[in-house]
Structure 1
Amino acid sequence: MVGQMNAKAFDRLTILFRNAHGIAKHCRPFTDYVWMCQLDAQKGIDIGTTYMTDIKCREFIDAIAEIERQKLEETTKKVKFISISCDEATDSAIMEQLIIYIRYAVAGEIKTDFLAIKTLDRATANNCYSAILQSFNEQCNIDPVDLWHKLVGFTSDGASVMQGVRNGVGAQLKENQPKL
């Protein structure tokens, strides 16, 4: 009986997590989660009533994000080589943002994963460089020394902040990884 109760609770949570994932994937407000759950209930899907709030939606999305972060951390620890792709832009709130992706190969297949979006005080090469190192530390638990051993490539747009020969982000990365 306890096994059946646990299986029923697991099935309910699976549906609720899928709803929360859909909210996140389609950039919908957390409040849409409530009506999605209500719609499931009206369709006769047993989801219970316990976790049908926008607050729980946020908690589910945070849990999903943490699992994905852990997967990325595991993967980056295992792979031999990493390449960084990034770009700096100003968002609609006139804040400087740096978006960072990583590329790597697993069993001969090239993968690209989102690493982070970092808000910058100013879009300088030093700030971008620091944001990249901080992102690898926070998201993948990789310190700079480990990063230098794995780093083989860097791509970005042609902005001097990124590609400047003397002090651009690429030049700073190349100081620590000359084969970049």
Structure 2
Amino acid sequence: MAVKGLKEETAKKWISENNRSWLEYDLTPDASRLVERLRCRVCSDERVRALRNYSNSFVEGITGSGMKKDNVKKHSRTEMHVKAIALSRGVKRTLSEIYSSTPLGKAFKKSNSDEESRVSKLIEISYMVAKEELPFSKFPSVCKTEKRHKVPLGTKYINEEKCSEFTTSIGQAFEDELVQELNQSPYITILTDGSTDASVRQSLKQTIIDAFQELGVKNMQNKLVGLCCDGASVNMGRNRGLAALLRQDSPWSQEASRTLAEVLGRLLGSKTYRMGSSRDWCYWTLLWPKNKESLTEFGKEELLQVKTHFDGLFQLHSVRTDALESEFTEMKLFWYSNLSHLSRADFWSAGYSILKTQYPNLLHVFIVLKLLPVSNAKVERAFSFMRRVKSDWRNSLSESTLNHLLRIDIDGPDFDDFDPSASVNMFFSDKVTRSGPAGVAGPSTS
């Protein structure tokens, strides 16, 4: 019958494709070397038989016209086969996984999924309230308007207290992301402002160190590139100012200065390096020499100054400073031969990936240059934000809530780019903590 159609060579080919080592076959008793039966080795596990969708077709083996490649593919995608593969590999299911596979568990999972969807929408509304610097009291009104538009928000979380909790979850999610970036980054720069009392110099330094340690960022001194602050003596005093105290542990750290701006201006290819303008990083190639010989010599003196100043910092990060000049020359010539036709923005949009793969030591130089303190405007904006938000009508805002609002306003993305998923996870993880031990609900705050 149809057995004559499936050769042993074909069955072997099916087995070798996509690593189907679980597929076995029996040959006919004659010398034709034709396949009589195909079966699945792993699905014969007794533990699989209890599944609701269990089928014994590939356990007993398929024969005749059923021995088709398409049927083999379909079987490999069945829930029964996937679980059998997991069992064969010794994958242990957790109690939660076992429970979620039961009818009650599936219903509970769907209920949780619906609640997560509602909370995600509510967190987006809370983010808008914070980003627009609105009081929490506006949250219920916005939610009621959305409900009139048939948005499923429920009734459980629509109050001012929950808006504050949502804001906390957003702020904590942002903080976790910041801590991760700080730990992964080899270098940092500090912006500070606000103190004019000379008696707090040493305590101000310790406050900065403690703040990093509380975030879990250790050895801040070994990452510090520079400090940006106002010109008050408590910050910029020659011997006992904050900058001088930080240089005791990080002697290479740099505060913004006109001399530095001039050095950067030449190194980065701009006659006037405007401190504080992020657009300058797109203009590095603007005035690079178009002559190959001149380009080879361009920036060597300025690179030497940067290398000398930050030599101690580079040594801490295992940078081969002896290779910087050659890598800088090779990078310029690579630009000259392959990328000089690109616009400045297009070149530097890919510039860091080029540096990372081809000029790893020079990459550290450009990261340090980008982190050099150039403007304290962001701190001034933070003060303006605090004056607007912590008004006479909101004077009871806690320090932590104010920090979360500040982080959202200053560092949060535009509303269209905000992804609430991390904040949703943060909210429900905090909710479990608030519920008390062993899942016993704690006191309600709503």
Q: Could you say which TM-score interval applies, normalised by the shorter chain?
A: 0.7 to 0.9
1:109 aligns to what?
none
1:67 aligns to what?
173
Note if 1:152 corresponds to 2:222.
no
Q: Hey, what's the Cα distance between the residues in 1 that align with 2:210 and 2:166?
A: 25
Tell me the CA shift for residue 128 of structure 1.
Answer: 2.4
Equivalence map 1:83-162=2 (5 Å): 83-88=189-194, 124-138=200-214, 140-143=215-218, 146-162=219-235
Q: Hey, what's the Cα distance between the residues in 1 that align with 2:156 and 2:235?
A: 49
In structure 2, relative to structure 1, the CA distance for the partners of 1:67 and 1:157 (3 Å cut) is: same
Tell me the CA shift for residue 141 of structure 1.
Answer: 1.3
Note if 1:10 corresponds to 2:116.
yes
Q: Hey, what's the Cα distance between the residues in 2 that align with 1:179 and 1:8?
A: 54
2:237 aligns to what?
164
In structure 2, relative to structure 1, the CA distance for the partners of 1:136 and 1:39 (3 Å cut) is: same
167, 175, 179: which one aligns with 2:248: 175
Letter in 2 for 1:127: S
Q: Hey, what's the Cα distance between the residues in 2 that align with 1:137 and 1:25?
A: 28
2:150 aligns to what?
44
Tell me the CA shift for residue 65 of structure 1.
Answer: 0.9
Q: Hey, what's the Cα distance between the residues in 1 that align with 2:203 and 2:140?
A: 40
Q: Contact 1:88–1:123 (CA<8 Å) still a contact in 2?
A: no
1:87 is paired with a residue whose SS is coil
Q: Hey, what's the Cα distance between the residues in 2 that align with 1:42 and 1:127?
A: 54
In structure 2, relative to structure 1, the CA distance for the partners of 1:58 and 1:123 (3 Å cut) is: farther
Q: Contact 2:127–2:167 (CA<8 Å) still a contact in 1?
A: yes
Q: Hey, what's the Cα distance between the residues in 1 that align with 2:230 and 2:198?
A: 17
Tell me the CA shift for residue 134 of structure 1.
Answer: 2.3
- Structure of higher CA gyration radius: 2
Q: Hey, what's the Cα distance between the residues in 2 that align with 1:135 and 1:74?
A: 15
5+ long unaligned stretches in structure 1: 90-95, 97-120
1:33 is paired with a residue whose SS is helix
In structure 2, relative to structure 1, the CA distance for the partners of 1:64 and 1:122 (3 Å cut) is: farther
Letter in 2 for 1:130: Q
Q: Hey, what's the Cα distance between the residues in 2 that align with 1:131 and 1:42?
A: 49
TM-score (norm 2): 0.31
Q: Hey, what's the Cα distance between the residues in 2 that align with 1:166 and 1:122?
A: 12
Letter in 2 for 1:60: F
Q: Hey, what's the Cα distance between the residues in 1 that align with 2:115 and 2:152?
A: 10
Q: Hey, what's the Cα distance between the residues in 2 that align with 1:52 and 1:123?
A: 47
Q: Percent identity?
A: 26
Letter in 1 for 2:204: C
